Chain A
């Protein structure tokens, strides 16, 4: 295990003004990594909550700062928003008393494939993959967000493993639509894994409504909405449907964050 007691880690997340679910995985990752004593200090920063990207460097004591975006896609937020808000000009930027080192986002890590497969296996335990269609669901509206590309990449990787009868990507607001899951797939068993960092409105409400396993219930408490994962499997449209929670809550994400820092260190020797 590597240690960086003279460095700080900042995990950059999206956050939400509507519920605490969006930032929760990022806060938990920070607590987990802090408890391991690898870095001198660990912080979070968010686009929609505080500390903001504009504030966070004022919270950091140490000069050397690694920033890891806790985002699935390499796109608008990781290429435009975070660098702009932090004031980055390259891989390593001197800002005031800090040197900020910008790492790759978690979503581009090769281990995403393993985490998606683990989520799918956990939610449909004992169900043979060769008789199962696996959906990787992304948002897929904003082209800058690039989430469709990330989902397609994971579909290609999982397909290449040859475990599942079929592996499909589907989206909330562009074709192929997850609402048409029964028409798009051919297996008796269908597993749906949202390719999102956190459980929030999309995974608690929007996707379940599109799948047909929930009705709209705006304003419902998180605990009630989380019941959508406890009621598996769903039998509808002549199939058996298993619906998983977002992968960002997988415990393996802490290793992914640390890997992204190590990858930066390896590719940018002092």
Chain B
């Protein structure tokens, strides 16, 4: 059986210290988490429970809800001190849901990327219309929604289809290993519901009304 907490602790003790916009550093017998922009600040609000991560992750600096936790909009101004790796694991479930598990599974070869064509192809109900998304639309959509500096920090492991890539984003956006050695990559093995919802809007907005 995999032991996620043990794997996380090994990574931390081997010098791992960055996940997305989170900086993690040893603090006594435990660990301290803060925003990577705040590593030199001394005026941070103090938190000490892993459950605090939910409210810290839920809202950006302006107080807006962050439905996509891998958006580059993590709130500043706090530090979270946790007593052990298990607490860090639970906090990461709020800061970057699923990202620790997907990273470990990817390392074991268990993650199978799913092409966007297949993700849209299985949609039903209000999202069935996304099957009309053209490759050109898909490239524009992904270039806008998934861009690391304004959309999502994840590395994209999937393609639009077997023969269609996304040329409008830099090559490192598609490489799981294109991160520093002390950084846990955030990995996207399949288009998320946010992208599917955006695809629906694009198809509806750009489809001419029936005569």
Contacts and interface: CB of A to CB of B under 8 A. Distances in A.
The answer to whether A and B interact is: yes
A55 B102 contact: yes
A97 B68 CA distance: 28
Contacts of B51: 31
B93 to A, nearest CB: 8
Nearest to A56: B98
B29 interface: no
Contacts, number: 74
Given A19-B65, A50-B69, A76-B125, A58 B111 contact: yes
Q: Give the dominant DSSP class at B's interface.
A: loop
Contact of B101 (A17, A60, A80): A60
Contacts of A48: 67, 193
B61 to A, nearest CB: 16
Nearest to B114: A54
Interface in A85-121: 96-97
Interface in A51-69: 51-52, 54-56, 58-63
Given A47-B193, A61-B3, A63-B1, A55 B65 contact: no
A84 interface: yes
Contact of B58 (A20, A50, A56, A221): A20
Contacts of A54: 114, 190
Given A19-B65, A61-B4, A55 B193 contact: no
A227 interface: no
A144 interface: yes
B105 interface: yes
Given A17-B67, A48-B67, A76-B125, A97 B110 contact: yes
B124 interface: yes
A259 interface: no
Nearest to B106: A58
A84 B123 CA distance: 9
19 contacts: A17-B67, A17-B68, A31-B51, A48-B193, A49-B67, A50-B68, A50-B70, A51-B93, A51-B97, A51-B98, A51-B101, A52-B98, A55-B189, A58-B104, A58-B105, A58-B110, A80-B125, A84-B124, A96-B110
Interface of B: 1-4, 51, 54, 58, 63, 65, 67-70, 93, 97-98, 100-102, 104-105, 110-111, 114, 122, 124-125, 189-190, 192-194, 197
